[in-house]
Every structure is written in structure tokens, then in C-alpha cells.
Amino acid sequence: MHDKLGEIVQIAASAYGSDISKYDDMFLKQVAEKRFACANVTNISEYVQYLSNNPDEVGALLRSLHITHTDFFRNPLTFAHLEQWILPSLLEGKPEASELRIWSAGCSSGQEPYSIAMLVENIHTRKSRPLRYRIIATDISGSALLQATKGEYREDEIQRIRVKDLKDFFIKTGDTYTVSDRLKQHVGFSTYDLLDNRYSCPQESIFGNFDLVVCSNMLFYYKPNHQQYIVRKLIDSMDKFGYLITGEAERQVVENFTELYQVAPPSPIYKQRRGVR
């Protein structure tokens, strides 16, 4: 780690008790550099000095480390696989009284779990038997979770949603689109740190055993040992016949786990070998 980055890590720990050493050095450096203009400095040495004297800036830096960028149906090919065969096969294999369990880990402002909920609802309309499903959506950013719970999105944020789905699942007020209660009743948002070793899975899930776990475009912000820890936790939370979906850029991290195999190349969709049938 660069000496100045080490000093930033120490300042964050001293001021807020936060361990930011878990983040990839390059990512940490990029976030710090983005804060230069706000701090009116031109290099990392000046920024370290500024941080030392301004606890509010330490808080701003910590908030900047919480990645909140996401989109509805962010990876079209992966969502096509979900819609066309993964979700239908999971639902078909469920006993009538059971529940489909989904975990959206690192859900940010909610677009991912709401996208999945739309797919499940559309499949539901084609089924004659009752359908029970629950999506547990977690993140470490309180501000992102607040936005997700509100479910309010600008017009430029809903461009990938089909017109029919906008009509069925959103309420338009001016330039704002709000997720309907039809979806919201199936999606629960809560704070959860994937690196928290006290809990193996979100407390709301009680025992994990998820049919589908989605954790996309988040792993590469962490150092390799933390990436491995997170993937292990995700695998342990899965039902033996369940699926794990990550981001395309994270394929190499996941493929280090030999108990997983890719089911739909090139999409980063995996199952456990012990669940092969």
C-alpha cells in the first residue's frame, strides 16, 4: 500500500473506527483523488493533511467509498437467461406451499431487486398455481437503501424497462416513476455488510438457503482476500440447487472456487457441482 494511502486508512480508523484497508488500493486512490476538488488540494499529500484537520471530510470520503451506481436490467444477457429459463425452472421445481428465496447482495438503490421482481411477476401471470417469493436486498449504504425503499426513479433511470412493465409496475407522477406496491411487497431492504463475520447471511433470511444469489459489480472494489471471503459467504448461503450471479468483470474471482461451474457462458451464472442433477 502507498504510504499516503496508509495514512488515509489510519485517519479513517481514528476518526470513525472504519477499516477501509479492505478496499483495493487503486480504487481507494481514485476515490481520494475525486475528493481533491472539494478539499481544494492538488495532490494526495495535501489531501492527507486536509483530512487530518477536517473530520467532516473523512465522513465524505467514507460515503464516497460506498458504490451506488446501478441500472435496471444492467446486464441484458444475464437478465435474459433469468427470464427465459433460470427463474421458470426454479419456480417449476418449487412445491406448491414453498417460497422462492432470492438475495440481492449489494443492491444499491434498488434497481437490481426490482428488475428481478418484475421478471418473477411476469412469469407468475403465466402460471395457474399460486406463487410465493421473497427478495432480500442488502447494502451497506444507508442513503442508497433509503432511495431503494422509496422506489422513486427519474425518467433517465428507467430507459431499459419495457413499456408494458412501466405500465404494470410503476406509477408516473410528473417526471418521477415510483415502484408499485405490487413489487414492493415482495422486496425487503436492510443494512448488511458482506465482510461482517458475525453473520453468515442477512438476519432477515434466518438460515440463508437462497435459490438465487445476485452480487454484481462489487467484488472488484475489494482486495483479493476480501473477495474470497465474500464469495465463500455467498456460496454458503445458497441452496444446493441454487444459482449465483456476479458481474462479468468478476468472473475470474468466482472461478477460483472449484465447487462452482459456469452454466451459461459467457454470462457469469454459476451453480454448485454438488447440486448437479
Find out whether 183 and 114 touch, Cβ atoms under 8 Å: yes
Whole-angstrom distance, CA of residue 70 vs CA of residue 80: 17
Is it the case that residue 267 has pLDDT exceeding 60?
A: yes
SS3 255: coil
In the prediction, which pLDDT does 68 show?
Answer: 67
In the prediction, which pLDDT does 69 show?
Answer: 73
234-261 residue pLDDT tens? 999 999 999 999 998 888 899 899 999 9
Is it the case that residue 28 has pLDDT exceeding 90?
A: yes
In the prediction, which pLDDT does 98 show?
Answer: 87
Task: Give domain limits for the chain.
Answer: 3-64, 76-275
Find out whether 267 and 81 touch, Cβ atoms under 8 Å: yes
In the prediction, which pLDDT does 208 show?
Answer: 84
What's the rounded mean pLDDT across residues 32-46? Answer: 91
Please indicate whether residue 16 or residue 167 has the higher confidence score (pLDDT). 167
What's the rounded mean pLDDT across residues 80-107? Answer: 92
Q: What is the pTM of this model?
A: 0.90
> DSSP letters of 44-94?
HHHHHHHHHH-HHHHHHHHHHTS-----TT-SHHHHHHIIIIIHHHHHHTS
CATH superfamily of 76-275: Vaccinia Virus protein VP39 (3.40.50.150)
Mean pLDDT estimate for the chain = 92
